[in-house]
Amino acid sequence: MFCKTCGEKCPSLGNYCLNDGTYFSQERVDFKLNGKRKFCQDCGTEGGSGQNYCLSCGADLKLYTKKAKHAYQEPSNKEQATKRKSPTTPVALPKFSLENLKLAIIPAFISIVILTVISFGVLSMSQSYVTDLLLTGDSELSEITEFLGVMGEETDANVPDLSNIIGLTDIMMYSTLQGSTFEFEATSSDGVDGSTRASIDLPNGTFLYILIPFVSLFIGGTVLGARNRDKQGSLLGLNLSMAVIVAVILAIVSIFAGFSYKAKMASEFFNVNIQMANNYSFIGTLLISFLFALVFGGLGVLFSRNYRKITGHLPDLMPYGVAVHQAFSTMVRGMTLLFVVFTVYFATKVHELKDSLGMFLAGSGIETLLEKSSLFVVSLSAQLSNYVWNLLHGAPFHLTAKDDGEEMSLGYSIFKGLTSSGEQESEIFFLQQMLEGSSLGLSLKIALLLPILLFVWAGYQMAKGHENQLKQVAVFSLVYSICMGGLAHFTDLSFAVKISETGYGSEEVSASLGFSGVGVLIRSFIVAFFFSYAGTWVRKLKS
């Protein structure tokens, strides 16, 4: 290789001339006269004035250029970090417009249709469980149904069918985590007038129901993104429009969901008026549906950009996108792994139970439950994966029960074990003995390695070529803790019953099972921040 300025022969792998220090990088030039280039860079032959090609070897001397451009310069470390940190596509504020609403109508409609179809499937399976398990044989609910049927025949009253008291719209409301509020009132006049009123609040915290809107809205978001690939800058506004449409539709459905039942039973011996109702919150359905549609639909939109990634696109779309991506990924990876483990474990146990007790359970409701255990296993595994993942962050699990002013509370955490308050020492002693004799505590302590490794890996990934690593870790911990706290708040299982009767006063019974949302949020932030920051140091030590 020869210098293009002085003609000196130089090593082919050199970057600079040994004689005059000329840089050998290729210049990005078009057509302009360059008087400095006198010798051929390939063979070293001196060229004449005005020659654009070497007379000896025919190499292009690039003597004439149309327009001068700067030679390539390696950017500084600070410029590289800025380039990595800056998103290639700036985030624009979402615009809620009539045009976006028109484009979002079809994806929103697709989401509602899929949600309806899945809800219908869940309803069919649920009714099959109720019919086979509770409305056959000698169960109490079967006896109640027969009693109501006899009363209806004697009084010509329209008695409700308990097996179909939950309908399609109820399942759709459950998918938005809306609980039921049942109200019952009966008045009688059989010589002594009296009335009985009861209200039952059943907040819905079943984790499995979240999968219904997730699947339907994710597909709707994917369709939205695929249909509007040329509108990348307005996808956030389109997602917002789809969320509004879905939320409004489901809120309208909440008005017609539930049931209202009135009956009058009269005979020569009694006169009873019965009113029953089940209602859902319009505002609650509107807000939760909007939140679900915005998040799940947004994930579908991201997926439509590249079918191999979901939140992996966020680093190119928004500041601190790596931190947000790692927050979602860490939670999903951890809970999915636990869900798979629990599903395999419970499916194996159910199969062993059917083999060992099949002949003793023949014809019973338990046999029916075991034969149709797939939905039960999946639901239980999903709920437990959520609960155990919270336990692995140091959050205590609570069971609280109240009965007419008396309160009992049980708690369990990995480090403190079983704790209690109230007067139930014998029951607590039994539970403590049972837990001490099991391997639950040791298994949970070993499982602590799972979130720790995922947090360290997230910190390691965030440390790749990014400045302000402390801010990245802080954003990661904040997003992660908000997701965990919100999930813990919405997946509590609880109920409350209030009964009042003329001449006997009123009585209240309630119970709740789950975690404190605020407590999970605080603990998740601390644990995520500590171990993810440790992951950034692992990256530094390796480099």
- Alpha-carbon gap, residue 517 to 482, rounded angstroms: 9
pTM (two decimals): 0.70
Query: Which is nearest to 488 in space by CA: 402, 391, 414?
Result: 391
pLDDT for 527 equals 94
Q: Are strands 417-421 and 193-202 parallel, antiparallel or unpaired?
A: unpaired
Distances (CA, A) of 468 to 92, 340, 538: 23, 36, 16
- Alpha-carbon gap, residue 461 to 532, rounded angstroms: 9
pLDDT for 215 equals 93
Dihedral angle over CA of 132, 124, 487, 435, nearest 10? 20
Q: Average pLDDT by consecutive 10-residue portion of the chain (543 residues)?
A: 78 74 58 58 70 72 53 44 43 66 91 93 74 51 58 60 72 84 69 68 78 92 87 78 94 86 63 72 91 91 81 78 90 93 88 66 57 76 90 89 78 82 61 68 88 93 76 93 90 81 76 88 94 88 75
Three-state secondary structure call for residue 347: helix
Q: Are strands 493-501 and 406-413 parallel, antiparallel or unpaired?
A: unpaired
Residue 75 neighbours by CB under 8 Å, 6+ apart:
83
DSSP structure string for 412-461: EETTTEEEEESS-HHHHHHHHHHHHTSSHHHHHHHHTHHHHHHHHHHHHH
pLDDT for 101 equals 86
The HSE-up count of residue 477 (CA atoms within 13 Å, CB side) is 23
Query: Which is nearest to 540 in space by CA: 453, 472, 460, 452?
Result: 460
**Which token pair is 396?**
């205590």
Residue 483 neighbours by CB under 8 Å, 6+ apart:
327, 328, 331
For helices 168-175 and 98-133, the axis angle rounded to 10 degrees is: 120
* Partners of residue 199 on adjacent β-strands: 183, 498
Q: What are the backbone dihedrals phi and psi of residue 178, each rounded to the nearest 5 degrees, phi first?
A: -90, 130
**Which token pair is 296?**
């799940």
Burial of 543: CB neighbours in 10 Å, binned 0-12, 13-18, 19+: exposed
- Alpha-carbon gap, residue 489 to 513, rounded angstroms: 11
Which value, in Å, is the radius of gyration of the alpha carbons in the chain? Answer: 34
**Which token pair is 201?**
């609040």
Residue 257 neighbours by CB under 8 Å, 6+ apart:
167, 169, 170, 172, 173, 280
Burial of 87: CB neighbours in 10 Å, binned 0-12, 13-18, 19+: middle
Task: Spell out the alpha helix ranges (H) of 271-418.
Answer: 282-305, 321-357, 365-371, 374-391
pLDDT for 197 equals 77
